[in-house]
Amino acid sequence: MTVRPAGRRLAVAVALLALGGACTQAPGDRAPQAALRYSVSEGESENHFIRQDGIAAHLNLRTQPAPRLVVAFPAGNSGAAVHFEAAGGTAVWGAVEDLRTVRLEDDSGRALYGISAEVGVAAGRLSVREADVGSVRFLRGAVDYSALPGRAPPRIEVDGKRLSVTRERPDGRSSYLLSVEVLAGRLQSEEGIVFAGDGELRLRVTAASGDPLEMPVSVDRLLRPAAADNEALESALAFLTYEGKMLAGSWRFLTYFGRDTLLSVQLLMPALTAEAAEIGLGSVLERVDGRGRVVHEEELGELAVYRNLAERGEASAAPVYDYAMADDDLMLAPVLGRYLEVFGRERAMRFLAGTTRSNDSRRSVLARNLRLVAERAAAFAGEPVAGNLVAIREDLNFGNWRDSEEGLAGGRYPYDVNAVLMPAALRAAAGIAGSGLLGDEARALPGEDELRRRAAVWEARAHGYFEVSVAADEAGAAVAAYARDHGYPAVTAPGKDVGFFAVALDERSEPIPVMHSDVGMDLLFLQRPPRHLAQLVDSLAAPFPAGLATPVGILAANPAYAGPAEQALVTRNHYHGTVVWSWQQAMAIAGLDRQLRRTDLPDALRSRLQEARRAARQRIAAAREIVNSELWSFAIREGGYAIAPFGQSEGHLTESNAAQLWSTVFLALEPEAP
């Protein structure tokens, strides 16, 4: 990935453009904000980000596996998309010029906020296969239309050299627009909609949304001087951070996600200002429900209106919240506990004394969540059997950060939820209760000693159900066969029995023998005994396919020791397969840094941790051009590993985001030792 910033925190010019309506003025209650403008190249995907006077947008131009243009807005998680077919199968996007923000009115006089840009494309003929505007969730195919009846096709018109795609939100409070005007070439509509030229087209693209703007936060309010000097990551963090929340990623996840927010705040904490940490934590507390559950995802804009129509019969844009995940609820306490450590009790007391929009004190909301954690922990703490572990929802195949259908390789009890997050949440709850931060709200919780007892049981017993042991000869044969069958470089057989922790337990509470990178959460949140710690590091540091380490990063999963069924679910084409997730690299390094601060480690183990840290830092340095992406895959070229952007090759089941909140966490890593 190549990043082309416009300059370190430089401003860009304000631009107003009227197309079929009068320009609107900036809302009077909005203070001027620092402008932001930068670009990212990732394989055959070009990404241009702009934020000016409250308008923020991401223009994505992807060449492979098929030409596509997307504009996404944080406002309402809305946007526009056009999918093309190119004559001869090729089309290469060219330079983007005159990118600017625009303020428009639709035919009904409603304000629209968006961008306009001139875009070149090397193609003799581009046929429009599909075009739509509205919720990004619809644009990326994440919502089944049939589940939300009433969404008709957009209005598509061709007028001279201009293609227009428009849609009105069903509550009549907003609308969406995409205009593609031919500047060089011609537009034909006799047999489908076709942009044609003499090998080079020049287009003026304008896209806009009427959903309410989000109030941005400038970089200087987000980061302390201790933050690493990385302009690309700073820009991504600023683009994704707003007064009321942090957004998960762009272009596909421009909305609040609880897990992403909490993990990002945890990992960024050494570099964040207290204000930035409180934006993240406050957004989570704002959305905790009456039972203490942390919201996983917030549905906004057009999608929220359709969801409310389908489920409540109301054409309302009130946000709709998703509580489907098993891990979100367990992350709030450890991250709040870390915030307390970094910024101190006095600051934490002031923060928790604040109120949510529903007039609940943050203190009482936090207490609700801690009570929920304690209740969910009670059964296993009383009888530590596998059946009392935390399972994902029965109607889903996912329930933690590995939230694709294949992410847990068919598992029902995730490792991270049970072996790490539950004991970490209980320990943090005990610390928070003992700090006096909760005041009278602490009475609703078990006592501090009881919380610590439950934490000790979970920490000592839960991980044992996930242990996998493979005899030396069997391990060697499995690794050799897997490398041979998939064309991967051979590695030296382990030469000893291999022990690791399964990614999940199946419905019979049996471990699924897929090695995984979530053991990095142990390093980040817990303090395991030396022998246990050595086993965790072995998984992270051993070369793939014996372990998880490759020259392009630590893999999210390794199915070499599993059977054919699991191996088919965990490939380099799968979202959570043998691919590299950026944030997990940072988590492993931050976790190793944390463990190296211990004073109880044998010298030999300390040396192993130091070597694992050094190797992880080298891999990140080698992948520095793509670390601000969400994830990447790999290809084998000339017998070695090469980075392959995820989502741009045939067979990839989805695609990576060019800006991802939890990929900005490298801003907080400790500097390399001299």
Task: Print the SS3 string covering 165-200.
Answer: EEEECCCCCCEEEEEEEEEECEEECCCCCEEECCCC
Q: What number is the average pLDDT over the span 69-76?
A: 98
pLDDT of amino acid 442: 95
Digit-coded pLDDT (tens) for 246-275: 999 999 999 999 999 999 999 999 999 999
Q: What number is the average pLDDT over the span 566-593?
A: 96
Digit-coded pLDDT (tens) for 624-662: 888 888 999 999 999 999 999 998 776 675 788 889 999
Q: By mean pLDDT, which of 220-234, 464-478, 647-661 is the weakest?
A: 647-661
DSSP 481: H
Q: Residue 5 pLDDT more than 50?
A: no
What are the beta bridge partners of residue 358?
A: none
pLDDT of amino acid 18: 38
Q: What number is the average pLDDT over the span 569-589?
A: 96
End-to-end CA distance of the chain: 27
In 3D space, the residue among 62, 55, 19, 23 whose CA is nearest the CA of residue 37 turns out to be: 55
pLDDT of amino acid 289: 97
pLDDT of amino acid 13: 26
Answer for the pair 409, 468: CB distance below 8 angstroms, yes or no. Answer: no
Q: How many helices (H) and strands (E) does the chain have?
A: 17, 33
Answer for the pair 151, 138: CB distance below 8 angstroms, yes or no. Answer: yes
Distance from C-alpha of 279 to C-alpha of 277, rounded to nearest angstrom: 5
Q: CB-side exposure of 479: number of CA atoms within 13 Å?
A: 25
Q: Residue 607 pLDDT more than 50?
A: yes
pLDDT of amino acid 3: 37
Q: Which helix (H) or strand (E) holds 126?
A: strand 125-135
Q: What number is the average pLDDT over the span 320-331?
A: 97
pLDDT band at 449 (very low <50, low <70, confident <90, very high): very high
CA 116 to chain centre: 27
What are the beta bridge partners of residue 645?
A: 632
- What number of other Cβ atoms are within 10 A of residue 652's Cβ? 20
Rg of the Cα trace of the chain? 25
Q: What number is the average pLDDT over the span 63-83?
A: 94
Work out the percent of the chain whose per-residue pLDDT is above 70. 94
Digit-coded pLDDT (tens) for 521-559: 999 999 999 999 999 999 999 999 999 999 999 999 999
Say which amino acid occupies 665.
V
pLDDT of amino acid 653: 57
Digit-coded pLDDT (tens) for 344-384: 999 999 999 999 999 999 999 999 999 999 999 999 999 99
pLDDT band at 16 (very low <50, low <70, confident <90, very high): very low
pLDDT of amino acid 141: 83
Instruction: Find tokens 């490759």 and name the residue.
Output: 550
pLDDT of amino acid 15: 31
Distance from C-alpha of 627 to C-alpha of 55, rounded to nearest angstrom: 26
Answer for the pair 156, 176: CB distance below 8 angstroms, yes or no. Answer: no
Where in the chain are the domains?
Answer: 2-209, 255-461, 471-668
Distance from C-alpha of 209 to C-alpha of 186, rounded to nearest angstrom: 27
Distance from C-alpha of 268 to C-alpha of 218, rounded to nearest angstrom: 16
Q: By mean pLDDT, which of 132-146, 170-184, 251-265, 299-313 is the weakest?
A: 132-146
Say which amino acid occupies 405.
E
Helices in 321-396 by DSSP H: which ranges? 328-343, 345-353, 362-382
Q: What value, to the nearest 5°, has the Cα angle with vertex 361 and ends 360 and 365?
A: 80
Q: Is 307 helix (H, G, I), strand (E, B) or coil?
A: helix
Digit-coded pLDDT (tens) for 19-58: 333 333 333 344 445 689 999 998 889 999 999 988 999 9
Q: Is 143 helix (H, G, I), strand (E, B) or coil?
A: coil
pLDDT band at 124 (very low <50, low <70, confident <90, very high): confident
255 φ, ψ to 5°? -155, 175
pLDDT of amino acid 627: 86
pLDDT band at 145 (very low <50, low <70, confident <90, very high): low
Instruction: Find tokens 């030792």 and name the residue.
Output: 673
Answer for the pair 49, 36: CB distance below 8 angstroms, yes or no. Answer: yes
- Residues 6 or more apart in contact with residue 432 via CB below 8 angstroms: 333, 336, 337, 340, 366, 370, 438
Q: What is the chain's mean pLDDT, rounded?
A: 92
Compute, in degrees rounded to 10, the torsion defined by CA atoms 594, 576, 402, 235. 60
In 3D space, the residue among 206, 233, 198, 238 whose CA is nearest the CA of residue 74 turns out to be: 238
Q: Residue 4 pLDDT more than 70?
A: no
Answer for the pair 602, 530: CB distance below 8 angstroms, yes or no. Answer: yes
Say which amino acid occupies 189.
S
pLDDT of amino acid 672: 64
Q: What number is the average pLDDT over the span 413-427?
A: 98
Distance from C-alpha of 577 to C-alpha of 559, rounded to nearest angstrom: 9
Distance from C-alpha of 671 to C-alpha of 375, rounded to nearest angstrom: 40
What's the residue count for the chain?
674
Strand 659-660 and strand 245-250: the pairing is antiparallel
Distance set, CA 655 to CA 239, 288, 300, 489, 630 (Å): 20, 30, 22, 26, 9
Answer for the pair 424, 334: CB distance below 8 angstroms, yes or no. Answer: yes
pLDDT of amino acid 648: 78
- What number of other Cβ atoms are within 10 A of residue 70's Cβ? 23
Q: What number is the average pLDDT over the span 489-514?
A: 95
Distance from C-alpha of 481 to C-alpha of 470, rounded to nearest angstrom: 15
Answer for the pair 623, 226: CB distance below 8 angstroms, yes or no. Answer: no
Q: Residue 441 pLDDT more than 80?
A: yes
